[in-house]
């Protein structure tokens, strides 16, 4: 059980997850400060999450 949790945590902390979370945070802060609109925030959020979590290489495996 503990090993399974550690493996899940390691898989969560990958480069694409870190980049995605940082980008989400940056755009969230910009939307709170009214630098961008909430509709643009949601559009950007969707594009970034789709890109990072759905991209595959030619072998069908996730790119890192």
One pLDDT digit (tens) per residue for the chain, 64 residues = 888 888 887 877 776 778 778 888 888 898 889 888 888 888 888 888 788 777 665 455 555 5
The predicted structure's pLDDT at residue 54: 79
CA R_g for the chain: 15
pLDDT of residue 59: 55
User: For position 53, what pLDDT does the model report?
Assistant: 72
- Which pLDDT does position 31 carry in this prediction? 84
Enumerate the domain spans of the chain. 2-53
Judge whether 25 and 33 are in contact, CB under 8 Å. no
């Amino acid at each position: 059980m503990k090993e399974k949790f550690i493996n899940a945590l390691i898989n969560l902390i990958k480069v694409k997850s870190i980049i995605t979370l940082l980008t989400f945070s940056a755009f969230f802060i910009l939307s709170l400060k009214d630098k961008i609109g909430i509709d643009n925030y949601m559009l950007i959020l969707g594009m970034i999450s789709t890109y990072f979590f759905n991209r595959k290489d030619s072998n069908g495996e996730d790119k890192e």
